[in-house]
Every structure is written in structure tokens, then in C-alpha cells.
Chains A and B, each alone.
Chain A
Amino acid sequence: MKNAEGLSMPLVEIENLTKSYRKGGQEVPVLRDLALSVDAGEFVALMGPSGSGKTTLLNLIAGIDRPTAGVVRVAGQDLGKLSRNRLAAWRANHVGYIFQLYNLIPVLSAFENVELPLLLLPLSRAERRKRVQVALDAVGLLDRHDHYPRQLSGGQEQRVAIARAIVADPTLLVADEPTGDLDADTAGQTLLLLKRLNKEMGKTLVMVTHDPKAASAARRLVRLEKGRLVDDVVPLASANGHSPRARATIGE
């Protein structure tokens, strides 16, 4: 990402971000005066205890929630300035969202689930078909294209969901506990896939996780507590594992 002067810009810029919800007539703050920037090509893990605001932050970055105050700018676009419908169109072009519980449409086949985001783009049927095949191939499920979610394992469902997230070639991938509902082996495979997407395809990834193992797949760890950013480190892997600060951040 480069600005008008040709200088490099972060892909995600968050300034003075505050988010609060109304609960029982009272304002409950979730995020307080938060600042963060993510460069293109980064793989960031958002960590923190329950209620720390990590999913809320992820949702704000993905443009599915609105800040109470502050700015969320993604790919140069201030999301707060977009109308509801324009924000939807923006999401279709810029964000791939991976859910914890996959959230595939049960009545659609794997192919049709992956095709859903492409229906919003001006593509021919042949182009859509080709892109769905590429996405399913990338997650190793091309041979299961005609299977329905009920015919797939949890890991396979999550891979279909990842294919759905990447099929429109979004600027940013966000994942909310993508391994939270998977067994250890399947979680490992899913993380490998996410790492591949980041390394080989250059996808920028922001992932919320509780799981230290999942966090260790990321190249940068951001820790939140009570709605504030308390730590932001790059876990340099060594022969013995992560750096001591990174180990502290991910709770190893």
C-alpha cells in the first residue's frame, strides 16, 4: 500500500478507536482509545482473555461493526465514512472472513458456498467456476466440490470456509478463532494452510485466537486486556522456540 506521495502505508490503520455497547441503559466500553497498524503481508494474532475486545476489534477491522469513536482505515478507506450498503460492497471486494464455526450455508454444496462471494462481482459463470476451482484446489478440496456441509468433516468445512474467504482475492483475511472448534491435528493442518496463504500468496491475515499454538503460527502477536492494547511483539522463532517476550505474550 502506498499513499499519494508514493510512501508505504499500512494496510490497516486504527487511531483512537473506542467501542462501547449499551447494556441495561449503561455504556459498557469494550475498546478504549486503541491504536494499531498492520502492514500488507503481515500475519497478526490478536490474543487476550475473554472480554478483552479482540473479536470486537476484528469485527471493526472487517467492517461488520462500527466504532463509537476513532478511525478504522483499511486499504486507505475510512470505514466509518461508508454507508451501510457501500460498506457491504467494500467488504465484498476487500475482506475474507473466516469464522470459528465455519458458517457454511447448509443447503449449498462446497462449490456453491465458495461461489457465494463471487456472485457479487461482475464475473461470467465460466470465470466464477474457474476461480472457485482454484480456491478449492488451494485448500485441497477440489474433489469434494459437490459435497454438502453435512457430508464434510469439521476440518473440511473449515477449509471450504477458507476457500470462500479467499476466492474473491480480498485485500485482507480475518479469522475469528479459526481452529477453536477443531481437534489438534485438524487445527494444525488449518494453521498450516493459513500460514501458506500468508507466505506463498502474500495474504494479510488478522486472526483472533486463544490458542497459543495457533498464535505461534502468526508472525506478530498483539495482546489486548480490558479493551486496551497491552503488548505488540514479533515472535522471532529460534531453535528453542519463540523469544521470551513472545512466549509471555502467547502465554506459553
Chain B
Amino acid sequence: MLKYLPYVRKNVFGHRVRTAMTVAGTALLMFLFLFVSSIQEGLDRLLSGRDDRLIVYQAYRFCPPSSQLPVFYDEAIRDVPGVRDVLPVKVVVSNCRASLDTVVFNGVDPKRLPAARGHFRFLSGDWSSFQARTDAALVGRRIAERRGLRPGQSFTAAGVTVQVAGVFASDATGEENVIYTHLPLLLNQKHHEEFHVTLFEVALADPDQAESVAAAIDAKVKSRFQVPTETKPQKAHYQTALADLLDLIGMTRWLGLVCVGVVLVLVANSVVMAAQDRVKEHAVLQTIGYSGPRIFSLMLAESCLIAVVGGLVGIAGCVAWLVWQPLAISTEGVSIDFVASPQLATWGLGLSLVVGLLAGLVPAWQAGRAEIVTSLR
């Protein structure tokens, strides 16, 4: 089949305007398909994997500013059997609603953070530079890239001014969109919230005991204190926070499928036009010995080439854009990255090929079945 490639290539790219239009349309649609799929991929990553943390939140509260738990709960939670460690976190967000550019500050005890986030890989700075200043901030890689933040730089958002002490990368999805700073810095922002944090992050001794430990924490708080808590595994907490977005993201899956459908129609239209324009050419090929199946496969190859080139351009464009401009959609302090992974890009390219095959089937079959004499006339 390779020896026919020049024929296929020249037929596709010899009709420049038509091919350019089809490739451009396919590229735009595959860009859109990959873009919406990258949200789904980010969500899947956020919600998949083993849950080894619990989030203790104020009961019946959702947005971070509305959850206010006294700092002294720390000791009570720590004593619950099955709890390995507790990290009080004050969450301050620039926007509690769904937004593409939310800044999420997590105020933590700088001395306890290294134990809780030992998996961080520092791209710049280190723990000591973070601990050295009371307004120091460790910035997640994705938000650093999005906002162009570098070490030594001063940065203000949501009424909080910090100085970047370092930039970290993390394999845990969502963490790279967070800025960690000193807990007292955030507690001092509002006078009436001095002794309250937003949540407690609980490290479990045994992740399989998550449900029972969560129940034990809530029961203990309820029996001893006035403000009740609702404790959930971290992924379940994310799901609750993202509840409104989940439906919308589910809708984007359909949008992606519509894009693929439109690509199918677009490429099929282009191949039909090519086949109709070249009825005589195919008859000539048949006259010199090309069989129906051979012409069928040549037309199918043209269809696939158009779809794959368009898909490649669109997918490469989307990947490049998301690398150049990392995006995350956040709500209630939880962020979903737009992840255009190599697997997703490969899947998109494979889908382009399948669309090319499907789009070319009918016109290629018609071209291969045409009567020579009638076509020559």
C-alpha cells in the first residue's frame, strides 16, 4: 500500500483549498474535542486512586469561608483511633464560585507541612525558605505557570499578600493549583476568625478504615463540641464540592461526541465531493487495471489522511495550548486541571483515524463499484 502513498497524498493535497478547509474544520473540532475531554480527564484523575486522607469540614457547609472549625478540634481528632496525623488548614479562595482563574490559599503550620507533603518536588526553593518568612508561600506548579509566579516575587490575591518562597510539583492532582502559606497569616486577615480554620486534613493509619474513622471523628466532635463536623474521604469531599460542576462536565462529554460527529460529516462531505469530481479518473484507473477494492482502499486512505492530518493539527494545537497556558476550573476551593495527557492525545488521534475510515466508507464503496463505461462517458 505504501507505493500508492504519493498518489493518495497528491490527490489530497493537490486540491489545496478543499483540503485546507476540511483539515482546518477537522482541526478546530478535534481541538474542541480534546479540550472538553481534558476536563473529563482532569476530573477522572482527581477522583481516581486510593483515598488515604479524610477531610473534616463543618457540617452543612460547602464553600470554604462558611466552614469555621475551632483550631482546638485538632487535639480531639488526633486522639481518634486510626488517625495518624492531623493538619489544620485555613482555605482562602479568590472566588468561591466556578471560575477558570481561582487562587486557592491553604494556610498551614509551616513546621507540620513537610510531614504532610513529603511528596512535593521543589522546582525552586525549599522547606527552609518557606519556613523562614511568615508571609512565605509555596506555589503549585500549575498556578505558578498560569500566573507567571517566580521565587522572590510578591503576590496579592483574595486580600492576601505573600512572597513566593518556592514552586513545587506534585503527582497528586489538584495540589499544583494551591498556594501554601503560613496559617497565622490567613488567620490574621479577619479579626473574628482568629481561632478558626476551614478544615482538618486527616492522614489515616489504614486507608481501608476511612469510613469508620470518619464516623468516629464526627461522633466525638458531636459529643464534645458545639459546632458539628462532617468527615469524608478526600475524594468524596471533592465530589461534594464539585457537585454542580459534575453535571456540566458530564454535558461536555456530549459536546465532545458532537464534535466527532461533525468531523465525520465534514470529512465525508469532502470525500464525497472528491469522489464525484473524480468519477472519470476512477474509471481510468479501473481501465488500466485497478480493481474496485483497490480504488475503495485508495479513497479510504484519502479520507483517513484528511481526518488524521486535521486531528493531528487540532490535537497538537490543544496540547500545546494547555502546556503553554495550564488551565484549571475551580469551585469551592477544589480545582480540576485540564489534562491533555499523551494517552488522551493518542486516543484522539485514533478516533480521528476511525472517523476517517467511517467517513470514507460510503463514497469509497461507490467509487469502487462504478461502471467503467458509464463513468468514462
| Partner-B contacts on A (CB < 8 A) | 59, 62, 64-65, 84-85, 88-89, 91-93, 95-97, 99, 103, 105-108, 112, 116-117, 119-120, 125, 164-165, 168
A residues near B293, Cβ cutoff 8 Å: 85
Check B288–A97 contact: CB distance below 8 A.
yes
- Interface residue? B373 (CB, 8 A): yes
What is the predominant secondary structure among interface residues of chain B facing chain A?
Answer: helix
Q: In the assembly, what is the distance between CA of A99 and CA of B281, in Å?
A: 12
Q: In the assembly, what is the distance between CA of A168 and CA of B289, in Å?
A: 11
User: How far does the Cβ of A13 sit from chain B's closest Cβ, in whole Å?
Assistant: 21
Q: Given A88-B291, A106-B14, A116-B285, 11 other A-B contacts at CB below 8 A?
A: A64-B286, A95-B289, A97-B288, A99-B376, A107-B11, A112-B7, A112-B10, A117-B288, A120-B290, A120-B294, A125-B3
A residues near B290, Cβ cutoff 8 Å: 88, 92, 120
User: How far does the Cβ of A234 sit from chain B's closest Cβ, in whole Å?
Assistant: 29
- Interface residue? B6 (CB, 8 A): yes
What is the predominant secondary structure among interface residues of chain A facing chain B?
Answer: helix
Q: In the assembly, what is the distance between CA of A168 and CA of B290, in Å?
A: 13
User: How far does the Cβ of A19 sit from chain B's closest Cβ, in whole Å?
Assistant: 10
Check A88–B4 contact: CB distance below 8 A.
no
Who on chain B is nearest to A92 by CB? B289
Interface pairs A-B: 7 shortest CB-CB? A92-B289, A107-B14, A88-B291, A107-B10, A64-B372, A91-B289, A103-B284
Check A164–B288 contact: CB distance below 8 A.
yes
User: How far does the Cβ of A20 sit from chain B's closest Cβ, in whole Å?
Assistant: 13
B residues near A120, Cβ cutoff 8 Å: 288-290, 294
- Interface residue? B310 (CB, 8 A): no
Q: What are some 21 contacts across the A-B interface (CB < 8 A)? A: A59-B372, A62-B287, A64-B376, A65-B373, A84-B291, A85-B292, A85-B293, A88-B286, A88-B291, A88-B292, A89-B291, A92-B290, A99-B284, A99-B376, A107-B11, A108-B7, A112-B6, A116-B288, A120-B288, A125-B3, A168-B289
Q: Which of the residues B3, B4, B289 comes within 8 Å of A117, measured between beta carbons?
A: B289
Interfacial residues of chain B within 5-39, with CB under 8 A of chain A in the complex? 6-7, 10-11, 14-15
- Interface residue? B253 (CB, 8 A): no
User: How far does the Cβ of A181 sit from chain B's closest Cβ, in whole Å?
Assistant: 15
